[in-house]
Structure 1
Amino acid sequence: MMITVQDFTGVYAEQAFMQELRAIAETSKDVRWLNCTKIVGTDCYCDDDAIKEINELIDNAESNSKSECDSIIKNHDNFTNAPDIHFFDNGNYHYMSKLWTDRVQEPFTLIVFDHHPDMQPPRFGGILSCGGWVKEVLDNNKFVQNVIIIGVKDELVETVREELSQSGEANILAKVTFIKESELSTLSSFVSRLSSQHSLYISIDKDALSPTYTATNWDQGSLTLDALKESITVLAAGHKILGVDICGERAHDFEGNEHHTVQEADTLNNSLNRELVEFLKKIKEY
């Protein structure tokens, strides 16, 4: 398992677990800490120059770690097949899942846990955005076969259908399945019946989860942590997991809300990130 952390806003500085990962990255190739705080043109929208800079940063990190990883694989018969994990800050940077899936070189189904569909037609000359990255994957990634979006606010599903219909692009919905927030009680049944013949790529925006478990920078849904973990466990039992993305930290300038103080938000997010990593370490490719 490789863990890559992309720090865009500095919010991870308030989480002890993420700082542990940062310290590990200083001496181990199993964790990569990528400082993205100086890259301009990244907040909500990611322009072409920023995409190039981000990809170069990832390429350099992968080049530096490749030789050591090869050595580990050769010298350890029981090397873990747990999927790589990518953390990338708050939900404004969820478009990073588009950049990570660009690197997949085999047919796959994209599983997205998110309170928002992230399928808005582009509004600024086709620039990549946190609100439209899923559509960008569908439009441009030749390997994606299907997309399943779990935990979406009900009314946003209808909004996306109307927007795509008005723009003449409703045909892409043939590849998309929505499990709306009101349908989460059927999630376990749906996941157990999923018969995709392809590998899976999982992208998690923590805003799909109830505020009981996390504090994010967008409105949140009602998915439980147990339901999230159970779904991933079932998926991994029958499919190869190519990677797992995690975003949905609090906003860097968060000052508290009706659910959490700043300290409570950081405590929750720290615990959740640690728990997700420990859980995913036990997930093996099928």
Structure 2
Amino acid sequence: MIITVQDFTGVYAEQPFMQELRAAAETSKDVHWLDCTKIVGTDCYCDDDAIKEINNLIDNAQSHDNSAHVPAIHFFDNGNYHYMSKIWTDRVQEPFTLIVFDHHPDMQPPRFGGILSCGGWVKEVIDNNKFIQNAIIIGVKDELVETVREEQSQSGEASILDKVTFVTESDILKEIPASAGMTSSDSAIAIPKDYHFSSFISRLSSSLYISIDKDALSPSYAATNWDQGSLTLDALKDCITALVTGRKILGVDICGERAHDFEGNEQHTVQEADTLNNSLNRELVEFLKKI
């Protein structure tokens, strides 16, 4: 797999694994490091000028190899930049299902003249990408799904939900056998091995595009810049393994780093957050290269 890292805030500087990738990018055609720190108009919202600059960086990197035709892993900083999945999926030229792991549905209607945002990029993809067949959003907070349904109904766009399947935290918990001893109060949800997403597996296209915001994971596994869910890392891996079996992976996006100005909280010090995220990023790459 080709690996592209887009550094927007400098947060990767304290992660040894990411710095290994930065060093590898100097000599390897399989790793790209794109410095996006000087592009204005990118934090949470991405304006047209910023989109053009970002696409130019990507085009320049891909012009030196065949990465446009190879499954790729894309890292792009914290959750404020999750809209990058919209920009990357704009490059897909075949029918696909979008698989999103996120504690938030990212389907807010546009608020500023249709500008691309981290909170509404999934809706933008569904509305504007002619190749998307449907979207599966996994690990989302239950009450946020209800908010989306209300917003779409009020806006007269409820039909968009026909293309979306939400797998909420409570949906996953329901699939866990009582014998497993799990309750709604558990801090992290592990998906059992026999969980095969039978309710929607038939809706998947033969090609998948996967977008991961690490805030779907419990704070035991990641330190992010948004409120977090309760999935375990094994649950995330099991989901991906079940979904991709027999299907083509077009790309995998990964965001959800800590905020660049994070000073620590009740769960993690800055050093603990960087160590946790460093290990997670390394493990995700090793896992994805094997599937």
- In the superposition, the TM-score normalised over structure 2's length comes to 0.90
User: Is 1:117 aligned to 2:78, yes or no?
Assistant: no
Cα distance between partner residues in 2 of 1:2 and 1:50: 23
Answer whether contact 1:192 1:234 (CA < 8 A) is retained. no
Gaps of 5+ in 1: 74-80
Number of the residue aligned with 1:9 = 9
Counterpart residue type for residue 189 of structure 1: H
Counterpart residue type for residue 137 of structure 2: I
Correspondence 1:270-285 to 2 at 5 A: 270-283=278-291
Q: Deviations over 1:74-101 (max 9, x none)?
A: xxxxxxx7x3100000000000000000
Shift of 1:191: 6.1
Number of the residue aligned with 2:267 = 259
Shift of 1:234: 1.7
Correspondence 1:188-207 to 2 at 5 A: 188-190=195-197, 194-195=201-202, 196-207=204-215
User: Is 1:87 aligned to 2:95, yes or no?
Assistant: no
Shift of 1:247: 0.1
Shift of 1:138: 0.5
Number of the residue aligned with 1:168 = 156
Counterpart residue type for residue 253 of structure 2: D
Number of the residue aligned with 2:244 = 236
Gaps of 5+ in 2: 176-190
Shift of 1:198: 2.9
Answer whether contact 1:2 1:30 (CA < 8 A) is retained. yes
**What RMSD over aligned residues (CA atoms) do the two structures have, in Å?**
1.6
Correspondence 1:65-80 to 2 at 5 A: 65-66=65-66
SS in 2 for 1:28: coil
Shift of 1:164: 1.1
After TM superposition, the runs of 4+ consecutive aligned structure 1 residues lying more than 6 A away are: none
Q: 1:209 aligns with which of 210, 217, 238?
A: 217
Q: Deviations over 1:124-159 (max 9, x none)?
A: 000000000000001000000000000111110001
Cα distance between partner residues in 1 of 2:29 and 2:148: 41
Number of the residue aligned with 1:31 = 31
Counterpart residue type for residue 32 of structure 2: R
- In the superposition, the TM-score normalised over structure 1's length comes to 0.92
Cα distance between partner residues in 2 of 1:242 and 1:216: 25
Identity %: 83
Q: 2:234 aligns with which of 226, 236, 247?
A: 226
Q: Deviations over 1:154-200 (max 9, x none)?
A: 11000111111111111100000000111123363316961224311
Counterpart residue type for residue 42 of structure 1: T
User: Is 1:43 aligned to 2:43, yes or no?
Assistant: yes
Shift of 1:3: 0.1
Answer whether contact 2:95 2:205 (CA < 8 A) is retained. no
Cα distance between partner residues in 2 of 1:218 and 1:248: 8
Answer whether contact 1:153 1:181 (CA < 8 A) is retained. yes
Does 56-65 or 185-194 show the bigger shift?
A: 185-194
Aligned length: 271
Cα distance between partner residues in 2 of 1:184 and 1:44: 29
User: Is 1:20 aligned to 2:27, yes or no?
Assistant: no
